[in-house]
Structure 1
Amino acid sequence: MASGTLAKPQMRGLLAKRLRFHIVGAFTVALGVAALYKFGVAEPRKKAYADFYRNYDSMKDFEEMRRAGIFQSVK
């Protein structure tokens, strides 16, 4: 009957080795999420605001609201 001996587990430096791996992974995931938010949410939102205000007429909007009776102090 052959019995093999188990290799000793690495104990010295184990925390540093695992932290290095997890910090790199966390940094990569954070950069990915930031890029997805920027290009998936922030840029389209900025474009939508720019498109809206490109030809927005505040006086026309005010007159429509005044005619609709939204303002009580303006006749």
Structure 2
Amino acid sequence: MSSGVLPKPQMYGLLAKRLWVHIVGTFIVALGVTASCKFGTAEPRKKAYANFYRNYNSMEDFEEMRKTGIFRSGKQLQNV
């Protein structure tokens, strides 16, 4: 049996050291989540809206809805 001396445990500054590690880890995780939301959700959504409105013609859309009967006024309903 060897009778070695046990090392002294660190008592002073232990909480500060552990908090620093957790703060840095939390910051890194938050940056990762933010980047994934921006590049995984926001940018594709912006691109989809831009593509939709690039070729969108509101007058053609209105005429198509008018032909299908979506816009029916009260005057037209009385004659029906």
TM-score by length of 1: 0.85
2:73 corresponds to: 73
Give 3-state SS (helix, strand or coil) of 2:26's partner: helix
Give 3-state SS (helix, strand or coil) of 1:33's partner: helix
Letter in 2 for 1:32: G
Give 3-state SS (helix, strand or coil) of 1:56's partner: coil
CA–CA distance in structure 1, aligned partners of residues 73 and 15 of structure 2:
69
1:18 aligns with 2:14: no
Bigger Rg, which one: 2
Letter in 1 for 2:70: I
Q: What are the superposed Cα offsets for residues 52-73 of structure 1, whole Å, 9 maximum, x if unpaired? A: 0001000111111111122232
The CA RMSD over aligned residues, in Å, is: 1.8
Letter in 1 for 2:48: A
Offset, 1:5:
4.0
The percentage of aligned residue pairs carrying the same residue is: 73
CA–CA distance in structure 2, aligned partners of residues 48 and 69 of structure 1:
29
Higher relative contact order (CA 8 A, sep 6+): 1
Number of residue-to-residue matches in the alignment: 75
TM-score by length of 2: 0.80
CA–CA distance in structure 2, aligned partners of residues 49 and 67 of structure 1:
26
Letter in 1 for 2:35: A
Gaps of 5+ in 1: none
Gaps of 5+ in 2: none
